[in-house]
Structure 1
Amino acid sequence: MATPLTADSLVAALRAEGVTVVEHDGWRTHNRAGHGAWGPVNGVIIHHTVTSGTASSVKMCYDGRSDLPGPLCHGVIAKDGTVYLVGNGRANHAGSGDGDVLEAVVEERATLPAPNENNTDGNVHFYGFECINLGDGKDPWPDVQLEAMVRASAALCRAHGWSARSVIGHKEWTNQKVDPKGFAMADFRSRVEARLGEKPASSAGSTPKPSTPTYQPFPGVAWFKKNPKSPIVTAMGKRLVANGCSAYKSGPGPQWSDADRASYAKWQRKLGYTGTSADGWPGAKSWAALKVPYTS
C-alpha cells in the first residue's frame, strides 16, 4: 500500500531503470479525477492493446474510446520498447476485479487466487501499462518490448519497495479478460524478480540514457520452449561449458537443442536443484547465477 508517485517521480523511476520514455502532451494532468479515488496503490497491471501501430495505439490510450474515456492506462509500451506516458492519476484500465486477488497482491503471496468476482475497483489500486499487441496469440512479443515491460514494472516496484509479486496480468485480476496473451505471467514475474536483483541504471534523481546491462536478462521459460535460434543460446552454452556443465558433442550453437537442455540440467544439479527443478528448462534464479554475458 503506497501513495502514488508524482509525475516527476514516475519519469525519474522509469529512466533510472533504463527505460526510454516519451511524454505525451498533457499527460501530467490527464486522469479520471472526480470519477473515483486514485490510491493507495498496490501494484501494476499488464495489458495488451489489441491494436497495431504506435501512433494510433498511443492516441487511443490517451483519448479513450466511445464507450470508455481516456486515459486507458498510464503508459503505452511500443514494439520497440519505448514507453509513452499518457496518464497521471486514476485511469480507466483495470475496471472491476476480485478483492481476493487484491488482498493476495497486497500480501505479496506466491500464488494468486483465481478471480471469480468483480467486486473491487482496480482503477484505485493499480498502475496500468498497455502493451502494443494484437492479443491473438500469434502477434510476436519482441524481446526489446518485453524487456521494457519488465523494466517499467520493476521501476514501479523498486520505487514503492514492492516485490515482483505486485505485478499481475489483467486476466489475473478479472475472469472477464484474457490479456496479456502470448506469454506466461509467472515467467514475466521471474524476469521482473531478476531485474530487481540488479542495481538500477542510475539514481532516480537523474535522467540517464538507457544503459547496456552486463548480463543477459532472463528471457523466460516460454522463450526457450519455443526452440529459439539466438546468440543468447550460444552465450548461455559457453557459460555452461565454462562451468563444467557440458553435454555438447561439438560445442554450443545458436539453436536451442536437447544438448542445451541436458547441459542446463547439469547446471541446475550443480546448484543443488533436484527432480523437476532440474529438468533443464532455465529458471530466473539459476539464469542469474549463470551470468550469461549480454547479447544485443
Structure 2
Amino acid sequence: MTDPATPAQWRAALKAEGVPFVELEGWTTRGRDAATGKVFGPVHGILNHHTAGVDSLAVIAYRGVGAGLPPPLAHGLLRKDGVVVLVADGRANHAGPVAENVFRAIVAEEPLPKQDKSSTVDGNDSLYGLEVENRGDGEDVYTRAQYDTWVRFNAALCRLHRWTERSAAGHLETSVEGKPDPAGPVAGYGRRGRFLFTMAQLRRDVAERLSHQANWSPPTTQETPTVTPEYVNLGLAHGYQLAPELWDEIEFTTEWNDEPDGHALNSPTFIKGAARFTGTLSLRFEGLAVGEVVQVRMAEHDDAGALKTVHPIHEITGTPGGTFGVVPLTKRLGAGRNMRVRLLNLGAEGIEVASAVLTVLAWGE
C-alpha cells in the first residue's frame, strides 16, 4: 500500500505501536495540496528531522519559515516528553530537493548511497516528515521517552505500509543542501545507556520492533552505560599530488561501511564531537626521496571551519621503493569540534599520496 494514511489509519497504527499522540486541531485537512496543485502521495518512506529549536509547534503548523517555506513543515512533531503532535495529513514542506539516487534506494528499500547532487526529486511529494524537538547543537539530549516514541513512530508507519526499516531515512542522508539533521546525544533506549544518534542505529531499532508484535516493548532491566562504538573506515578513491612546504588536509573519498553513517566523504572531516576515538591512519607515498620527510598531524576545527587546535606531529621518512607509515589516532574531541588530518611535505619536490586508509572506533559522548 502506497496511498498516504487516512486519519483513521494514522490513529490505529500509532495506537497499536504504543505511540502516545495528540491531534492538533485541523490536522486531518491541513496540507499543501491545494496551494501547490500537487497531491500528496504515493508515499515511499519517512524522513526524520530535528527542529534546531525549541517550542517549534507554531512554526511547523502555522507560521512556517518566511515566504519561501510556508507551513505545514511536517506531518508530526515529537516533543521532549515523547508525545507526537499530529500536525498535517496532506503535503508538507519538510524534505525539499532529495538526491534522486537516494530516493530510488528508499523506494527499493536498499542501502542508501552517498548523495548524487546532479539530479533531484521533490521529497515533499512522497515522504512523511517527522520533526523531533532538539536544538541540534550537539549538546541538547533526546530524552528516553522521545527516542522510544521515535522508534515506535517509524515502525508504525513501516508496519502500516508493509515497509522494512530501510524506508526510514534522515534529512542528512537525502539533502543536496548539506542538511545535518537529525543528530545529537540520546539519553538511552531499552537496556542501552547514553549514545550518539545515528540513522543506522535508529533503523536497527526499528527493525527490532518490526520483528515483534506491535505491542512489544524493549526490555529495560540491567541497564548498562556500555556503548557500542561506531566503525569508521575511510580512504581515497584515487591518489593525489602533495606540493612541497604546504600543510594540506586529506580529503577522504571512499567509505568501506555497510551504510553511509554520517561520516564525511569528499571532506577532510572524519570525526565530529563530542566523541572519543582510537585507531590508525595508514599512508603510502610515491616519489618521496630517501631521507626526505612528510609530517602528519591531527587538527581540530569548529563547525564554521576555523582551525582551533593542532596536535603533536608524526614524521614519516622516505625509503627506497616507496614509503609507508602508520600513524596512531587516539583522542577525545569536544562538542562542536571536528577532526581532520593534515600533511606537510618537507621535500623539495611534489610527491603523490598514493593511499590513505583511516580505520577507527568512535564512541559518541
TM band (smaller chain): 0.5 to 0.7
Identify the match of residue 191 of structure 1 among 197, 205, 224. Answer: 205
- Aligned twin of 1:127: 128
| Counterpart contact for 1:95–1:122, Cα < 8 Å | yes
Q: What pairs with 1:84-233 in structure 2 (closer than 5 Å)?
A: 84-117=85-118, 119-176=120-177, 177-182=179-184, 183-201=197-215, 213=217, 215-216=219-220, 224-225=228-229
Which ranges of structure 2 fall in alignment gaps of 5 or more residues? 185-196, 231-360
1:27 aligns with 2:33: no
- 2:60 maps to a residue whose letter is C
Query: Equivalents in 2 of 1:113, 1:19: separation in Å?
Result: 32
Tell me how far apart the structure 2 counterparts of residues 186 and 62 of structure 1 sit (CA, whole Å): 29
Partner deviation per Cα, 1:244-296 (whole Å, 9 max, x = no partner): xxxxxxxxxxxxxxxxxxxxxxxxxxxxxxxxxxx9x9xxxxxxxxxxxxxxx
Amino acid at match of 1:61: I
Aligned partners of 1:72 and 1:97: how far apart in 2? 16
Partner Cα separation in structure 2 for residue 78 and residue 47 of structure 1: 12
- Counterparts of 1:130 and 1:117 in 2: how far apart (Å)? 27
Structure 1 position 214, deviation (Å): 6.0
Which runs of no fewer than 5 residues in structure 1 stay unpaired? 202-211, 227-278, 282-296
CA shift digits 1:22-69 (9 cap, x unpaired) = 00011110000131231110000000111113xxx1121101232311
Question: Which sits farther off after the overlay, 159-168 or 31-40?
Answer: 31-40
Change in 2 beyond 3 A, CA 1:52/1:225: farther
* Residue 224 of structure 1: how far off its partner (Å): 4.8
User: Which residue of the other structure, out of 18, 42, 64, is the alignment partner of 2:44?
Assistant: 42
TM-score when scaled to structure 2? 0.55
Q: Once superposed, which parts of structure 1, at least 4 consecutive aligned residues long, lie more than 3 Å away?
A: 221-226
Give the drift of 1:112.
2.9
Cα 1:198–1:28 change in 2 (3 A) is: same
- Quick one: which amino acid aligns to residue 196 of structure 1? L
The reply on whether 1:18 has 2:9 as its aligned counterpart is no
Equivalent residues of 2:112, 2:173 under 8 A apart: no
> Structure 1 residue 114: deviation in Å?
2.7
How far apart are 1:216 and its partner, in Å? Answer: 3.9
CA root-mean-square deviation: 2.4
Tell me, what secondary structure is at the counterpart of 1:10? Answer: helix
SS of 1:8's partner is: helix
Give the match for residue 5 of structure 2. Answer: 5
2:129 is paired with a residue of what secondary structure? strand
**SS of aligned partner of 1:11:** helix
Residue equivalent to 1:271: none
**Compared CA separation, residues 92 and 18, structure 1 to 2 (3 A):** same
Higher relative contact order structure (alpha carbons within 8 Å, sequence separation ≥ 6): 1
Task: For 1:134 and 1:174, locate their aligned partners in 2 and report how far apart those are by CA, in whole Å.
Answer: 19
1:137 & 1:125 partners in 2: Cα distance?
30
The residue identity in structure 1 corresponding to 2:32 is R
Q: Report the TM-score, using the length of structure 1 for normalisation.
A: 0.67
Q: Which has the higher strand share?
A: 2
Amino acid across the alignment from 1:186 = A
Q: What amino acid is the match of 1:148?
A: T
Q: In structure 2, what is the Cα distance between the partners aligned to 1:74 and 1:178?
A: 20
Q: 1:82 to 1:193 in 2, by over 3 A?
A: same
